[in-house]
Structure 1
Amino acid sequence: MNTRFIMLASAALMAGLGLIASFLPHELLQQLGEETTGIMPVLVQVLGALYLGFAILNWMAKGILIGGIYARPVALGNFMHFLVGALALLKAGQHLHGYVLWPLALGYSVLAVLFGLIAFRHPLAAKVPADKV
C-alpha cells in the first residue's frame, strides 16, 4: 500500500482543523453553540496545537516506509487518534451538530481503517518489472 497519499491526506485534514482551532477558537465555539468564555477557547487552542503537531509529523513522515515494524509509532499513533476520534464523533453525531460531525466522522473512520491496515500489515514491496531484475 502506498502510504504517501494517506499521510498527505491526514496531514491536510489535521492542519486545516489545527489552523481553525488555533486561530478561530471563539468563532468555532460560537458555530457549535458552545460558551465562548472561560477556559473553553484556551482548550480549543491547545487542541489546535495538537492537530498542528500531528499534521507536521505526518507531513514529515510522508516519504518513509510505514507499515509492519517500519515507523510503527507513527502508524499506531495515527491509528489510535483516528479510531478513538471516529468513535467519539459517531457517538456525538447522534445528539449534537450532526451536519458538522457526520462528515468529519466519516473522514475519521476512513483514516482509522487505512491506518489500521498500515499498522498491522507488512508494507507491500514495490513491483519491479521483470526486465529490471
Structure 2
Amino acid sequence: MNTKIIMTLAAVILGTVGIALTFMPDALLNYANMEESETALLLIQILGALYFAFAMLNWMSKGSLIGGIYNRPVAVANMTHFLIGGLALVKVLMSNPNASHLIWVTGVIYAAFAVCFGIILFRHPLAESK
C-alpha cells in the first residue's frame, strides 16, 4: 500500500476541513441548521484546529516509512480517529438513512481511511515489495 498517497490525501482533506471550520464556523453552523452561539462557534473553531493539526502531522510524515513498527504513533492516531469517527457516522446513518448527502459522503471517506490506516498499522511496510 502506498502510504505517501494515503497520507497526502488525508492531509489535504483534513487540512481543508480544518481551515473551513476555523475560519467559517458561523457559515458551517448555518448550513447544518444548528443554532449559532459563542460556545458553538468556539467548539467548531477548536475542532478546526484539531483537524488542521492532524493534517500537518500527516503532511510532515508522508515521506516517512509508515507501517508495522515504523511511525506507529502516526498510524495509530490516524486509524483511531478515522475508525471512531466512522463508527459514529455509521451509527447516525443507520438510525437515519435519510441523512444529508454530506453525512453519507463523510461516512464513506471516514470508513475508507479507517480501512487504509488499519492495513497500514498492521502490515509491515517492506512486506509489499517482496
Q: Which moved more, 1:116-125 or 1:79-88?
A: 116-125
CA-to-partner distance for each residue in 1:84-128, whole Å, 9 max, x for gaps? 011111222343742110001100100000000000111135749
Q: Distance in 1 between matches of 2:38 and 2:2?
A: 44
CA-to-partner distance for each residue in 1:16-65, whole Å, 9 max, x for gaps? 11011000001101100101113001000000000000000000000000
Aligned length: 128
Q: Does 1:64 align with 2:77?
A: no
Letter in 2 for 1:85: G
Residues 65-80 of structure 1: pairs in structure 2 closer than 5 A: 65-80=65-80
Query: What TM-score, normalized to structure 1?
Result: 0.90
Q: Distance in 1 between matches of 2:119 and 2:129?
A: 19
Letter in 1 for 2:41: P
Please say which structure displays the higher CA radius of gyration: 1
Q: Distance in 2 between matches of 1:55 and 1:107?
A: 15
Letter in 2 for 1:14: L
Q: Distance in 2 between matches of 1:18 and 1:127?
A: 35
| Residue equivalent to 1:118 | 120
Letter in 1 for 2:121: A
Contact 1:10 1:58 in 2 (8 A): yes
Larger helix share, 1 or 2: 2
Q: Distance in 2 between matches of 1:14 and 1:127?
A: 29
Residues 45-56 of structure 1: pairs in structure 2 closer than 5 A: 45-56=45-56
Q: Distance in 2 between matches of 1:75 and 1:127?
A: 19
| Residue equivalent to 1:104 | 106
Q: Distance in 1 between matches of 2:99 and 2:59?
A: 30
Over 3 Å counting, the alpha-carbon distance change for 1:32 and 1:109 in structure 2 is: same
Contact 1:90 1:101 in 2 (8 A): no
Q: Distance in 2 between matches of 1:57 and 1:85?
A: 18
Q: Distance in 1 between matches of 2:84 and 2:40?
A: 21
